[in-house]
Amino acid sequence: MKTVNDYNFKDKKVLVRVDFNVPQSADLKVTDNSRIQAVKPTIDKILNDGGSVILMTHLGRPKGKPSEEFSLKNIVPEIEHVLGHHVEFCSDCLGEDAQNMTGALKNGEILLLENLRFYNEEEEGNVEFAHKLAKYADAYVNDAFGTAHREHASTAVIAQFFPKTKFFGLLMAKELTAIDKVLKNGEKPVLAILGGSKVSTKITIIENMLPAVDHLIIGGGMAFTFVKALGGSIGKSLVEEDKLGLALQILEKAKAQNVKVHLPVDSVIADEFSNDADRSEVDIFDIPEEWMGMDAGEKSRKLFHDVIINSRTILWNGPIGVFEMPHFSEGTISLGDSIAEAIELGAFSLVGGGDSVAFVKQFGYEDKVSYVSTGGGAMLESLEGKELPGVKAIND
Ligand code: AMP
């Protein structure tokens, strides 16, 4: 893996693709700057070498048209704050101004180009557009893990114009190393915890992970499809009727590959999908007709705890209950605690993809796990075993 640490950028202008697609408030202030913080080490490395940085990113979905709402001008103060450095802003990523400003950039300076998605050519992966951007710089760095699963002009296509001077940023390197640590060289026993709502969205991940893991915990809404397939009564719980056969096939495949599957054994149930619903706790194979499973019960938490603390490598994707509702968040909290305990015992844990990341941030577990991925879709596609276009473009 060729990263920015393998090169000295002295006197070089470096185009750095970042993912500053940050959440904003109604008055367009940045509400979470973690994506900016995440790329600071890469930017610092280039500046400390004596190079200059041209930042490019997208923000939101402006659909090929410039707009105030999606202008990167609004986030410049927060970028300056996080980087602790002045940032020049160019109000277009192409055109005369961009050419002049990139041309005049001096060592030690940072320039931010306006939203790439103000041009349709970005998402179309247009080669000419990529070539125009490429002309600004001597080197190209991709540190935008969050968009690495897209074959866009600035995330993949542009790399061909830097055959010898294209590099992974340090965030990309960290993400890719974390994935490899689970899928390729994880210390055994390796455990994957898959929760969330639907089997259908996780099926490729499960299949891809089977050869890599020793244990698989299946929790959350998708567990009920497995329980029903095994003959359980699940009441009104979430189920994908057309995936019952598939669920049985997965269990068979797991068995054939010596993967031990752990399903919940009990469930916190509710009489309606609401935080204020009446609650009870029952055997997961025996949920009354008008009730639905909302969270892992006490026995399941204990079962999962024992598997987790005996694992050395843990991947976690998806909550195991409706954690958005306080009365049904206890199972996911207990799971987070068990993972934290495993970390103290020396395990490695990667939290990746969507709602488990939201959970970890909201409930303060970020520092209690080994690595929290910054890329939802990119992480899911990696776990599915796909080679990300943004990664391939640098490796080729
Ligand atoms: P996903 O995006 O597939 O990872 O699913 C995340 C969602 O799964 C969260 O919004 C949870 O509320 C939901 N979820 C977890 N457990 C259950 C459950 N038992 N019933 C319904 N939804 C659930």
Matching CATH number, 186-383, of 3.40.50.2300, 3.40.710.10, 3.40.50.1260, 3.40.50.720: 3.40.50.1260
Quick one: pLDDT at residue 77?
98
Can you tell me which atom of ligand 1 is nearest the CA of 295? 19
pTM, rounded to two decimals: 0.90
Quick one: pLDDT at residue 22?
94
Residue 94 CA to residue 2 CA, distance in Å, equals: 28
Quick one: pLDDT at residue 1?
92
* pLDDT tens for each residue of 321-335: 999 999 999 999 999
Crossing angle, helix 40-49 and helix 76-83, to 10 degrees? 70
Atom 12, ligand 1: residue with shortest CA distance? 322
For residue 106, the 8-state DSSP code is: -
Spacing, Cα 318 to ligand 1 middle (Å): 7
Q: What 3-state DSSP class applies to 99?
A: helix
Atom 10, ligand 1: residue with shortest CA distance? 322
Residue 213 CA to residue 221 CA, distance in Å, equals: 22
Spacing, Cα 276 to ligand 1 middle (Å): 17
| Catalytic-residue membership of 35 | yes
Residue intervals in the chain for CATH 3.40.50.1260: 4-173, 186-383
Quick one: pLDDT at residue 280?
98
Matching CATH number, 4-173, of 3.40.50.1260, 3.40.50.970, 3.40.190.10, 3.40.50.2300: 3.40.50.1260
Q: What 3-state DSSP class applies to 286?
A: strand
Which stretches in the chain have pLDDT values below 70?
none
Residue 305 CA to residue 37 CA, distance in Å, equals: 33
Number of alpha carbons in the 13 Å side-chain half-sphere of residue 200:
7
Among residues 80, 70, 112, 110, the alpha carbon closest in space to that of 93 is found at: 112
